[in-house]
Amino acid sequence: MKLKEVQELKIKPVAELEKLLKESREKLRVLRFDLVAGKVKDVAELRSVKRNIGRIQTFLNQEKK
């Protein structure tokens, strides 16, 4: 994720962050199933999605404080 994308996440409202979090978790779930089935060619995408989930959760926690 590029710095500009991270900065855009910081300014998004909480509702949109929660929506992105839900979508990212669903994407991670699908990627895990595809990994077991042998369909995933880019394993690094799993790491990227997990890191994005962490970033979104961090921004949500900062907004709630």
Could you report the per-residue pLDDT of 21-64, keeping only the tens digit for each?
A: 999 999 999 999 999 999 988 999 999 999 999 999 999 999 88
At residue 55, the pLDDT reads 96
From the list 28, 58, 57, 33, the residue with the least C-alpha distance to 45 is 28
At residue 40, the pLDDT reads 86
- Is residue 17's pLDDT more than 90? yes
Q: How far apart are CA 28 and CA 40, in angstroms?
A: 12
The answer for residues whose C-beta is within 8 angstroms of residue 3's C-beta and 6 or more apart is none
Q: How far apart are CA 19 and CA 32, in angstroms?
A: 20
Ordered by where they begin, the domains of the chain are 3-64 (1.10.287)
- Prediction pTM value: 0.89
